Amino acid sequence: MTRYAAKYRRVARALSRVELMRSSMDATFTLTDAELLDKDGGRRFLDFYGDEGLRLALDRYGFFDAVRRRGWDHFTMHSHAVDERHTLLLDGTDPDGATGRLLELVVRRDRLHVEGVDRAWEVLTVDWLGLRNPNGRFTEERLRLPGQDAPGLGMGERVLELLYRVVDRLGLDGLLTVAEYFHNAVLYSRELKYVDPWYDGQLTALTRLLLERERLTFAQAAWAVHWGLVRGPDDAAIVWRGEAMVHAHDPELKEHLVGPTHAARAAEVAAHLRYTLARGELDERWAQERDALLEAPTGP
Q: What is the pLDDT of residues 194-204, one digit of tens each?
A: 999 999 999 99
* Predicted TM-score of the model (pTM): 0.91
Q: Which of 300, 297, 293 is CA-nearest to residue 149?
A: 297
Q: For 169, left (φ over 0), alpha (ψ -120 to 50), or beta?
A: alpha
82, β-bridge pairs: 85
Across 144-153, average pLDDT: 96
Q: What is the mean pLDDT of the chain?
A: 93
pLDDT at 30 exceeding the cut of 90 = no
Is 164:150 a contact under the CB 8 Å cutoff? no
Across 87-114, average pLDDT: 97
Spans of all domains in the chain? 5-294
Is 53:21 a contact under the CB 8 Å cutoff? yes
3-state SS of 176-198 is: EEECCCHHHHHHHCCCCEECCHH
Is 122:165 a contact under the CB 8 Å cutoff? no
Across 144-167, average pLDDT: 97
Q: Where are the beta strands (DSSP E) in the chain?
A: 73-82, 85-93, 99-113, 120-131, 174-178, 193-194, 230-231, 244-248, 276-277
Across 198-214, average pLDDT: 98
231, β-bridge pairs: 237, 276
Across 228-236, average pLDDT: 94
Binning pLDDT at 50, 70 and 90, where does residue 115 land?
A: confident
Across 10-38, average pLDDT: 72
pLDDT at site 41: 45
Phi, psi (deg, nearest 5) at residue 12? -60, -40
pLDDT at 25 exceeding the cut of 90 = no
